[in-house]
């Protein structure tokens, strides 16, 4: 049985389109639509490119597919709209099944975890008339303990905070999270008035929501992202907001810290209360707020939490996976745990070579890219690393990555300034060999998806300053030889050369562009940034060395 799961939709509020393909419960392919349209988040678009990739990867046509699964169960006439869409785009529409948005989120995390039983929490912006849920999952049964109302939303709360600080909601929340570590929660008492814990639930002050107050204007589910979503009450409590592009001061940084801390307090209280009700300390997190790795660290540290699993796609791209998993589980198929994210397109060496020849690029063909790459890294070069199947989810995990040596603090500023073109306070993540991560990070568990931060061991922090955030934490990627042998070997060889089994790893893209998919996009990023070296499979491209005395680190 072939099942395709999709996410996103047809309204301007829909985003993070993706498609996955399962065959009898086995994941075959998965990718986000933004990697094909090159428009970040692929807003308001059904995932035509990602669907086409999934079909190609399996060597089938749409007529071989048994089911299309999608969220948006509560949307009027959506089944008819999807039927017409698939007939128009692919010439055929398989059977359709619409599921609840947040049950899809929950399923993606629970089935991906491999747990036989779990307390599952979905913290989201909104979908299918709610903003999340808490459930007790056992086998194929999801017993919903509570649902969060659409307007009582942690995603909405953090979107308001993001806008207040002068950033773009549903895009820049990670900037607020990174900024928060530079402040102190001096405004926590004020945020306690805006967002209040209530056991397994919480309460967002309804007077903050401009869409509710001005309902005669905002007649759709979302205001547009160019409009303010919070009322004047937020500024009455916190003081003047920051205009986009204005300087940041300590007051705003402390507000970021306070807003982040209140999110952690509320989410942890929900989990603690839910575990008390379910009696199950194995926890799965999903929903867009599940990308908040600082929140996830606090949840993992909660004494009642036994194990924590957050999938590589907790945001809306993950509902495609969850919907397909639910259909396969209903059919009696076993769903394998999701222990890696390498489910996207892969390009042959011949295809890469054709692209290089078309643009007239100068390159070297290497017998062993790993050995040469280690030499580049220890020579303090920044490296684009394009190998194997593209990652499913927003994190580059060693196949579409920018890599560098973390032993020099200046490397962080260099990458932010000359390659990523982004704010100087933004941290970078360490990829670390799983078997050695406990030497460098505290309270660790297997974290292959860069969705949880961990405290850095203070005894070794000075050996890798470029990946230690200002609060002495790091959002790690646990690297396993069985799921990514090439990347694992690269880190292992780097460790032999430097005694450090850690690399800086950030996505192979320029700020505000999607992570690259195809070789041509990797070349565009390389030539339009300060990257020193690019590895495309076995091919190496390099730029002329800087003149002696020019700034480097």
Catalytic annotation, residues: 15
Q: Where are the beta strands (DSSP E) in 243-361?
A: 282-286, 307-309
Rounded Cα gap, residues 27 and 425, in angstroms: 37
**25 neighbors 329 (Cβ within 8 angstroms):** yes
Q: 272 is written with which tokens?
A: 């603690």
Task: Tell me the CB-side half-sphere exposure of residue 374, using CA atoms within 13 A.
Answer: 20
Rounded Cα gap, residues 242 and 249, in angstroms: 10
57 to each of 8, 30, 183, 322, how far by Cα in Å? 21, 10, 47, 20
Task: Work out whether the CA dihedral 25, 27, 32, 33 comes out positive or negative.
Answer: negative
SS3 state at 452: coil
Q: What are the φ and ψ backbone dihedral angles of 411, each rounded to 5 degrees?
A: -65, -35
Kindly tell me the burial class for residue 207, based on how many C-beta atoms sit within 10 Å of its own C-beta (0-12, 13-18, 19 or more).
middle
**386 neighbors 399 (Cβ within 8 angstroms):** yes
Q: Where are the beta strands (DSSP E) in 94-211?
A: 95-98, 117-127, 130-138, 141-149, 195-198, 201-204
Rounded Cα gap, residues 390 and 25, in angstroms: 21
Rounded Cα gap, residues 163 and 173, in angstroms: 9
Q: 416 is written with which tokens?
A: 């932010």
Please enumerate in sequence order all residues whose Cβ is within 8 A of that of 113, keeping only pairs 6 or more positions apart, or say none: 282, 284, 309, 311, 337, 338
**193 neighbors 237 (Cβ within 8 angstroms):** yes
Rounded Cα gap, residues 369 and 347, in angstroms: 16
């Amino acid at each position: 049985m072939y099942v395709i799961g999709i996410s996103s939709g047809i309204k301007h509020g829909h985003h993070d389109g993706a498609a996955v393909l399962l065959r009898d419960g086995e994941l075959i392919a998965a990718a986000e639509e933004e990697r094909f349209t090159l428009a970040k988040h692929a807003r308001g678009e059904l995932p035509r490119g990602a669907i086409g990739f999934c079909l190609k990867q399996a060597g089938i046509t749409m007529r071989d597919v048994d089911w299309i699964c999608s969220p948006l169960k509560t949307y009027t006439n959506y089944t008819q709209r999807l039927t017409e869409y698939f007939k128009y785009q692919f010439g055929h529409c398989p059977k359709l099944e619409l599921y609840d948005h947040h049950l899809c989120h929950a399923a993606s995390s629970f089935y991906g975890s491999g747990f036989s039983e779990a307390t599952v929490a979905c913290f989201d912006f909104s979908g299918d008339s709610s903003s999340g849920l808490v459930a007790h999952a056992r086998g194929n049964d999801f017993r919903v303990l509570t649902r969060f109302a659409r307007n009582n939303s942690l995603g909405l709360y953090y979107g308001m905070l993001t806008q207040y600080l002068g950033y773009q909601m549903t895009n820049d929340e990670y900037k607020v999270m990174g900024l928060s570590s530079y402040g102190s929660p001096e405004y926590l008492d004020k945020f306690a008035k805006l967002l209040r814990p209530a056991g397994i639930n919480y309460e967002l002050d309804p007077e903050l929501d401009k869409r509710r107050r001005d309902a005669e204007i905002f007649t759709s589910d979302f205001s547009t992202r160019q409009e303010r979503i919070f009322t004047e009450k937020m500024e009455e409590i916190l003081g003047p907001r920051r205009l986009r592009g204005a300087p940041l001061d300590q007051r705003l940084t402390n507000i970021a810290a306070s807003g982040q801390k209140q999110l952690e307090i509320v989410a942890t209280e929900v989990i603690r209360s839910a575990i008390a009700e379910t009696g199950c300390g194995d926890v799965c997190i999903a929903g867009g707020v599940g990308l908040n790795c600082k929140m996830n660290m606090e949840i993992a540290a909660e004494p009642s939490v036994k194990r924590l699993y957050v999938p590589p796609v907790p945001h809306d791209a993950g509902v495609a996976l969850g919907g397909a998993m639910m259909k396969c589980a209903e059919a009696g198929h076993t769903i394998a745990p999701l222990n890696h994210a390498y489910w996207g397109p892969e390009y042959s060496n011949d295809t890469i070579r054709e692209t290089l020849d078309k643009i007239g690029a100068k390159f070297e063909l290497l017998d062993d890219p790993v050995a040469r790459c280690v030499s580049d890294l220890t020579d303090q070069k920044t490296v684009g690393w394009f190998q194997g199947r593209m990652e499913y989810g927003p994190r580059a995990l060693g196949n579409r990555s920018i890599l560098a040596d973390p032993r020099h603090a200046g490397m962080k500023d260099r990458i932010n300034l000359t390659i990523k073109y982004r704010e100087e306070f933004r941290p970078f993540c360490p990829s670390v060999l799983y078997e050695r991560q406990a030497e460098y990070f505290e309270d660790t568990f297997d974290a292959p998806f860069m969705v949880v931060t961990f405290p850095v061991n203070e005894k070794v922090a000075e050996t890798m300053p470029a990946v230690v955030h200002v609060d002495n934490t790091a959002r790690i990627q646990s690297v396993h030889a069985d799921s990514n042998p090439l990347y694992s070997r690269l880190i292992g060889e780097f460790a032999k050369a430097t005694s450090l089994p850690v690399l800086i790893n950030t996505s192979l893209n320029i700020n505000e562009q999607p992570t690259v998919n195809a070789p041509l996009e990797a070349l565009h990023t390389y030539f339009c940034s300060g990257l020193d070296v690019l590895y495309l499979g076995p091919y190496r491209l390099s730029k002329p060395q800087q003149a002696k005395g020019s700034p480097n680190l």
